[in-house]
Chains A and B, each alone.
Chain A
Amino acid sequence: MANPRDEILDWSEQGRIAPGRLRAALEAGGALPDANDWRRFLDRLLLWMGTVMLACSAIFFFAFNWAEMGRLAKIGLVEAPILGALFLLWRLGLERASGRAVLFAAALLTGGLLALIGQIYQTGADTWELFAVWAAAILPWTLAGRLAPLWVLWLALLNLAVSLYYLTFGFLWGFVFAPQRLMWMLFGLNTGALVAWEACAAAGLEWLRERWSARVVATASGTLITWLALTDVFDWRSSSHWGLPLWLGWMAAAYAAYRRWLKDVYVLAGGVLSAIVVIAALFGKSLSHSDAGGFLFMGLVIIGLSAAGGWWLKSVINEQDGGAA
């Protein structure tokens, strides 16, 4: 788990690296970038920052709603970069970093174009429809792109579409808008995405194995089910009473998946934090303002649980490190 940098710094703190030679040790251990690494890093940095900034500039431009510009000019101005991006993509191909960056920019610009069409022709579409159509429009590119950030963008658009849909129609369905329904929808969406993500990665899709993207989705799923469990604990008005049982199921599944199968300590750490919060809520809700002993007990329970959780997580890391030998 630890990288060469952490290991060498640890040896340095133990006094095992010759004095004044820490940097040399880090260089020799491959912990610092060499000239080729630097070139690759700057190349990617300039490419991605430049591309994302250009795409954002187009979106900002149309959000300004420039009245002095005609309809055709506006549409031409956003379609031209999309066509340009697609032309570049055709020339560069998806195997090159620049090709993937151009595809990402085209996906962002598509949202700008859809918003612009809604703005010019007053289509009457709700905001949720913009995000839903945007997600549908870029789905073929997302499938073809084999690019984790593009899938994260696509999932974020779906989350936005679902959230805005519920905000729009919550009242129309004849009942007071219940945030819990939305949370259940989002939980289902993100948990389904997480399962599909991990299954596809396990099935051999190499480009889905970058852990950061799966962790983003796992964080969304875990946060939502923890929130739903808390609504049960505090018995809020719209509570479904399914939050706590499903939270237990989620925790068990996460343990099985990320302790036994995949071994991702990030998700396990999130699970520990979720358990601490839910346990604190379970005990804390019965405390009265004057129950000094109860507050002290709860404080010590949380401290004990977190210390034990930290110890367990570190032992999992050490076990992985040793076991990988």
Chain B
Amino acid sequence: MSSTTRAMLWDRLAKASLVEGALPEAGEAASPWFIRVMLGFAGWLGALFLLGFVGAAFVAIFRDASSMLVLGGLACAAAVAIYRVAPKSDFMAQFGLAVSFAGQAMILVGLADVFKRFNPTQFAVCFMLLEAVLFVLVPNYLHRVLSALGAALAAVWLIIDAGLFAFAPAAITAAFLVLWLVEFKFERHGPLLRAGGYGLAIAAVLTSVLHGGLWLGWLVSRGHGQPAGGEAVQWLGHAASVLVLVGAVIALLRREGLELGSGQGRVGLCAALILGLASLKAPGVAPAAAILVVGYANGNRVLAGLGIAALLGYLSHYYYSMQTTLLFKSALLAATGLALLGARLVMHRWWPEAKETSHA
């Protein structure tokens, strides 16, 4: 944003008594998502070489699970210290990220070795706790996004391992929605909420677009994650996705101060019901649509873009998914497509276009 536009924005807020005093100095612009992706990938690459260093310098450590756990823990503690001692340094932030990744990898390998005698549940619980601790302690946005993603994926693993795979998309989407719907309410914790929200959004995409097929196959091959309760529980899980989407639309309408019976309310609920019903047999549609709509509602283009990418990705993946025949999938898509176009026509009647455009 140019300095003139910044000044105009500040003036507009000052006139509405929302800010006081002089326009703050232009700080560092918030890094766009693609710079964060670049930094994250480079941090991961750097961590691989640091791990290579540890492996080459201390060969004995890689042969002993306890040593790996201790050294991994020390590396994570060092990463926390690096971030806290030099929070503004770009180099130290990247160094801390690489050290943290290397530490987490060592802890994962150590845990995998230790839990050969136990089960994946304990592994996932330990990893989730580790990520939660790092999320709180490391004061860095990118690191927090990745910690939230790690914790969320560990939670999904636990759900699948419990045989409740059908509930995973609903659970992860609900957690994601709660965080983003209260984004403006708990403004003091905004940075934490947004970092957690992005991590959960990526986890929701991974869980809904891939809808856990790979994980489930891996777990089932090891005697875990057998779907519990048969067909009825599967349907309940899918119904939970519908409820989450409809609930999100209701919460959004309330947040915007709109009546459920208003034209806008009826259109929103109608669209949510159509997409929710489609999700009974195409479980990725509801989470992807939720990400898109909440992203738009919060003025967040990155989140809205992620929702569009998730929807397109899911449609491509859906073609190859083996749960139902192509004929059934074709009928489902045709019915949903027609219903959505019908809803658009109804929208023009229930919510006619305003003659004049007025901005707040």
Where the two chains meet, the residues of A that have a C-beta atom closer than 8 Å to any C-beta of B are: 1-14, 16-36, 38-39, 41-43, 45-47, 49-54, 56-58, 60-61, 63-64, 66, 212, 265-266, 269-270, 272-273, 276-277, 280, 284, 287, 289-293, 295-296, 298-300, 302-311, 313-314, 317-318, 321-325
Partner of A303, one of B46, B293, B300, B337: B46
Contact A291/B338 with A32-B299, A313-B35 known, Cβ cut-off 8 Å: no
Please determine whether B326 and A64 come into contact, CB atoms closer than 8 angstroms.
Answer: yes
The reply to whether B341 and A50 contact each other, CB–CB distance below 8 Å, is: yes
A2 touches B1 (CB 8 A): yes
Are A314 and B13 within 8 A (Cβ)? no
Neighbour of A25 across the interface among B13, B29, B300, B330, CB < 8 A:
B13
How far does the alpha carbon of A280 sit from the alpha carbon of B49 in the complex, in Å? 10
State whether B9 touches A29 (Cβ < 8 A): yes
Task: Specify the chain A residue showing the minimal Cβ separation from B57.
Answer: A292
Chain A to chain B contacts (Cβ below 8 Å), 21 pairs: A6-B30, A8-B9, A9-B194, A12-B187, A23-B184, A28-B13, A28-B360, A30-B359, A30-B360, A36-B358, A45-B271, A46-B343, A50-B339, A54-B338, A60-B327, A61-B334, A63-B326, A269-B37, A273-B38, A296-B57, A299-B49
Taking A51-B341, A318-B28 as contacts, is the C-beta distance between A35 and B264 under 8 angstroms? Answer: yes
Q: Could you tell me which residues of chain B, from 326 to 360, have a CB within 8 Å of some CB in chain A?
A: 326-327, 329-334, 336-341, 343-344, 347, 351, 353-354, 357-360
Whether A5 lies near B331 (C-beta < 8 A) is no
Cα distance, A20 to B319, chains bound together (Å):
47
B residues contacting A by CB (< 8 A) are 1-6, 9, 12-13, 16-21, 24, 26-32, 34-35, 37-39, 41-43, 45-50, 52-53, 55-57, 90-91, 93-95, 98, 184, 187, 190-191, 194, 264, 267-268, 271, 292-293, 296-301, 305, 311, 315, 319, 325-327, 329-334, 336-341, 343-344, 347, 351, 353-354, 357-360
Q: Are A54 and B341 in contact, CB atoms less than 8 angstroms apart?
A: yes
Partner of A302, one of B27, B49, B184, B351: B49
For residue A7, which residues in chain B have a CB less than 8 angstroms away from its CB? Answer: 1, 6, 9
**Which residues from B are CB-within-8-Å of A14?**
24, 27
Q: Is the CB of A53 within 8 A of B340?
A: yes
Residues of chain B with a CB closer than 8 A to A304's CB: 91, 94
Q: Could you say which residues of chain A place their CB within 8 Å of the CB of B43?
A: 303, 306
* A46 contact from B184, B296, B300, B340, Cβ within 8 A: B340
Query: Which of B19, B191, B326, B339 is close to A61, meaning CB atoms less than 8 Å apart?
Result: B326
Do B337 and A42 touch across chains, with their CB atoms under 8 A apart? no
Q: B267 and A42: CB pair below 8 A?
A: yes
A25 and B18 contacting across the interface, CB-CB below 8 Å: yes
Q: Would you give the shortest CB distance from A42 to chain B, in whole angstroms? A: 6
| CA distance in complex: A287, B327 (Å) | 54
A33 contacts B46, C-beta separation under 8 Å: no
In the bound assembly, the distance between CA atoms of A19 and B292 in angstroms comes to: 28
B277: min CB distance to chain A, Å: 13
Residues in chain A near residue B39, CB distance under 8 A: 306, 310
Contact A310 B19 (CB under 8 A): no
Shortest C-beta distance, B37 to chain A (Å), equals 8
Query: B341–A10 contact, CB under 8 A?
Result: no
Name which residue of chain A comes closest to B327, CB basis: A64
- Chain B residue numbers with a CB within 8 Å of A31 are 299
